[in-house]
Each structure stands twice: as C-alpha cells, then as structure tokens.
Amino acid sequence: MDEIAVLGVGMHPWGKWGRNFTEYGVAAARNALADAGVDYADVGFVSGAVTVRCGYPGYVAGSTFARALGFTGAQLASSYSACASGATALQVARGQILSNACDVALVAGADTTPKGFLAPNTGERPDDIDWLRFHLVGATNPVYFGLHARRRMDLYGATTDDFAMVKVKNSRHGAHNPNARFAKEYGLDDVRNSPVVSDPLRLLDICATSDGGAAMVVSSMEWARAHGHRDPVRVAGISTVSPTYPDPVIDLPYLAADSVADPSAPLVGFKESIGARAYDEAGLGPDDIDVAEVYDLSSAMELDWYEQLGFCAPGEAERLLRDGDTAIGGRLPVNPSGGLGAFGEAVPAQAIAQVCELTWQLRGTAGARQVDGARVGITVNQGLFGHGSSVIVRR
Amino acid sequence: MPAVEGLFTFDDDGPRLIGGRVPGTESYFFPKHLGGADPRVGPVELEEVLLSRRGRVWSYTTSHYPPPPPFVVTSEPYEPITIAAVELESEKMVVLGQCTAGVGPEDLEVGMEMELAVDTLYGDDDCDYLVWKWRPVAAGSKD
C-alpha cells in the first residue's frame, strides 16, 4: 500500500466540561494545521469522525468542523464506526489522497459525552440489538469487559492485581501528558480500593467517558516533499476490517456470538485480524514495532491486545506486563500517552489521538514520556458492531 | 407475558430460546432475525429452531451499578445482577443472559453446566414481563 505523510497533529486536552464538541474539534484542527505549517486554504478534503451524542451537527462532523473553520469549497465526508470512527475518517482521507482527488486532507474528531454509562437511543426498540441487550440482560459495555476479564483469569491465571498494574503503569505514563484528563499517578491500593463495577473489574480498571478533540493534517508524499517535509512520519497501514463469520467470541452489542457447530467454517479471530491487516499493508510484523497505543477500555483489555497484536503468545501478556516490557523504558512500551486509563474515552477523537501520540513519539518530541529510538508504531482499537481499527506509522 | 415477543418459549415443556438455522446446515443464529448471516449462503430464509436448553459457562460477571434505561431496575436499593455467557451444547454458540435470583459469581466457574430458565424481568400493575435466564444445573435440575 502506498504511504501518505502525517504533516501535523493536534489535540484539545481531554476533560469533562460539557461545552460544544465543535470547540474541541476546531481547537485540535487549528493545532494540527499550525503543527503542519499548512495554510488551511490548501486543505482539499475535510474528513470528520462522527459523534452521535451531539445532535445533527455531530452526524455531519466534517461539515461542522469545516464551517467553523470557514467553508472553502473543500470536499467533505463524515464517518461513523463507533470507537473506530477516527481510523475510518483517516482511511477515507487516505483514499482521497492516493486517488489524487486531493493533495492535503484534514482529519478531525471531537466529542462531548454525558455522565455515566453510555446507553442506547430512547423509545421502545425491540428490533434494535443495542436496545435489547440493555433491556433484557442489563448488558452495559462494562459487562462485556468484565466477561472478557474473567475469562482471562480462568484461562491464563490472570489476577485482579495484574489488571490493576495496567492502570498503574498507564497512569504513570499519563502523568507526563498535558492532553490527558487524569494527571494522578495511581498505586495498586487505589485500584484495589475502588468500587467493583463489573466483577472482576473495579472503577479504576474501566475507562471514563470524556470530552476531547484530536486532528491530523495528512498529504501525499509528493506534496509533503515539495513543501519542505523531507522526513515526515508516514502512515504505512490502516485496517478497518470487520469480523469474519463465524466469530465465536461474544462482544458488544450482541446477545449471542456466532455458532461454531459447523466444523467446515473458517475460524479467524476478529481481534487478531485487525492488526494483521495493518501489518500486511505495511509489510511489517510484530517484531518491527517499537511502540503501541492500544484501546484499554478496561485494564484487562490491554492485556488481550498484547496477544492479539502478536507481541506475545496467548497467555503470556501478564508476563510482559510484570517484567516491565510494556512500560516506558521497557522492550515494547504500550500506551505511553497514558491510554484511555488517563484520558477517558472521547469516542470519535480517540483513534485519531492514538496516531497523534505515535507521531510525537516517532518525531522524538514526546518529552518525559518519550520512547527512545521509536521508528515504527501501531495503534489498535475496536468499535462496537464489528469495526476494527489499526494504524501503523513509521519514520 | 414475554418482555419481548418471539425470543423464547415458556410452556410446560420447559423454556427454550428460539433461534434460526440455515436449512440443512449447522449455522445457527440468535435472535433469529437479528443474528447475522453465513456469507457462504447469504441472507436466506432461516428455519425456526428451538436451541439447546443446556450449555457451559464461557464467562460471567456481576454488574454492581444499575444499568441505565431501557433496563428496568426492580429493587430499591439496586441488587447487583449476575450475567453469564453460556456456550450452548449443540449449537456451540455463546448466549448472554442474566442468572436467576440468588446466583452470584461465587457460584459460577468457567465450564460449569447451566440450563435455561424463564423468570420475571420486571412487573407492572397488569402483569409480569418474562425473560430467559441462566441457572446452574445443580441448582434446579429435574433430569
């Protein structure tokens, strides 16, 4: 797959203010444009990641951000794929650039989130699987996180302290990130003493919902070189894969996984297939990765990703964590930004924010949370309803 | 009456989940109309089948905070609900459900045998609204 250049990245800090999401997205976009040194008039395509919690302007996020920056006649798209929306928006922008429909694209996502559990649309909706899971089972998002965490304990002997260690590690990283919402460095006892939300996971094992915004300015390699960017961070692979039937793993928002009674059906793990596609596009593998940003909706989920990205064999993630391999200073630091544990989730911004962090890491400008010598990084995340998301960047 | 029509039976023969099957194959779906499709055959008309009453625990959790609407909280204060994911015996398909009252995480382990029950989800002045739930076989078996 041909590469595109990351000319600039920018964020609005994460927090919980309840202001208009447009404000966060525009601030992030302006920061990304300034970081890129690109004139907004040169942006030929605005790719927005959608929020479904902020009314119609959220559904047409690309237009909302473009109008707030000033309409220039640029082409627009707005993408929704739940937590994966930011990667989809980047994917759409890459397609525009590689098909020569534009030279420079702005990718942006932002959200303003309500307090508490994310919940389905209101009304009586018995044909909506997302409504049914709440109504009939009480299956909130943390319920699925709890199911997967418990299974890790049963299959691999993980302990609740292993999960807590992920939070402790990520909070130590996030304390050095001015864009993170939570600056506090948590200890094991803080996690152990927080209330149980979805057994075996406690409040501090589960990510909060946040306000925030993130943006990138991307271009063709030719345009980058012609405008003075001699050695930009490049996007080498983007995965937005869906599951392959039958997927035997129960995941949100479904009431049932696929049946695997038919022995002739192919068995392709969905989460494993997400990173595999990005590796394939980039012509790289797990051994090439220097730094990763993975979706820690729960602390236990971060451990799942170590295995699903091929950093270790199934059942070995706890060893990587305990040995310090995935902390800054270790062999393969994971979530140097602090991850969702330090940010909380701002859905359409999050997959973009992961790439922002890797861009700073590959440039060597991440300050106190710098991963030494990082040249190749991978992000991974997953949106409900079967949206994979992974981006590989290199320098 | 069922909280939502068409998902399970609850007659004297014992409760069963109502699933779909691609005719002549072992591709099963639940709920029948919302369970996806096998791409090797596409969106064909599924035949209605009653799914295995028993299965084994794939995993479980207990929700210590009341879920938001459209879940109906029936106790004040809220009593934590335990939820099991159970792999059905014949269909090899993991299905979520609440556990029956009194079943907590200390009563469960991965791999233990469970069976389907029908129980009250919530009630109003007119009637009780029913849903399927899981319970350990040892706790309520008749066979």
Do residues A348 and A82 touch, judged by C-beta distance below 8 A? no
CB contact under 8 A, B27 and A265: yes
Over residues B13-53, the pLDDT tens digits come to: 889 999 999 999 999 999 999 999 999 998 899 999 999 99
Facing residue for A257 by CB, picked from B38, B70, B93: B93
Do residues B29 and A259 touch, judged by C-beta distance below 8 A? yes
Q: Is the dihedral of CA A227, A229, A230, A233 positive or negative?
A: negative
B 47-86 near A (Cβ less than 8 A) = 58-65, 67-72, 81, 83, 85
CB contact under 8 A, A122 and B68: no
Chain A's closest residue to B98, CA to CA, is: A137
CB contact under 8 A, A150 and B3: no
CB contact under 8 A, B71 and A246: no
pLDDT score for B143: 47
CB contact under 8 A, B131 and A136: yes
Over residues A349-386, the pLDDT tens digits come to: 999 999 999 999 999 999 999 999 999 999 999 999 99
B 95-134 near A (Cβ less than 8 A) = 95-98, 105, 109-110, 121, 131
Confidence of residue A11 (pLDDT cuts 50, 70, 90): very high
CB contact under 8 A, A148 and B59: yes
Over residues A47-78, the pLDDT tens digits come to: 999 999 999 999 999 999 999 999 999 999 99
CB contact under 8 A, A139 and B67: yes
Nearest to A29 by CA among A18, A17, A16, A45: A45
Do residues B112 and B57 touch, judged by C-beta distance below 8 A? yes
Over residues A272-319, the pLDDT tens digits come to: 999 999 999 999 999 999 999 999 999 999 999 999 999 999 999 999
pLDDT score for A49: 98
Facing residue for A151 by CB, picked from B4, B39, B110: B110
In this predicted structure, the answer to whether residue A4 has a pLDDT above a threshold of 60 is yes
CB contact under 8 A, A155 and B97: no
> Mind telling me how many Å the CA of B12 is from chain A's nearest CA?
22
Q: What single-letter DSSP state applies at residue A312?
A: S
Provide the percentage of residues in chain A whose pLDDT is more than 70.
Answer: 100
Chain B's closest residue to A129, CA to CA, is: B34
In this predicted structure, the answer to whether residue B142 has a pLDDT above a threshold of 80 is no
Give the phi and the psi of residue A35 in degrees, each rounded to 5. -60, -35
Distance CA B64, CA A180 (A): 27
* DSSP H helical ranges for B21-136: none
Over residues A196-252, the pLDDT tens digits come to: 999 999 999 999 999 999 999 999 999 999 999 999 999 999 999 999 999 999 999
pLDDT score for B139: 58
CB contact under 8 A, B67 and A117: yes
Chain B residues whose CB is inside 8 A of the A260 CB are 92-93
Distance CA A284, CA A282 (A): 5
CB contact under 8 A, A199 and B105: yes
Facing residue for B96 by CB, picked from A154, A245, A250: A250
ipTM of the complex, rounded to two decimals = 0.96
**Segments of chain B assigned E as strands:** 8-9, 16-21, 28-29, 47-50, 54-63, 81-88, 94-99, 113-123, 128-136
pLDDT score for B140: 52
Over residues B64-122, the pLDDT tens digits come to: 999 999 999 998 999 999 999 999 999 999 999 999 999 999 999 999 999 999 999 99
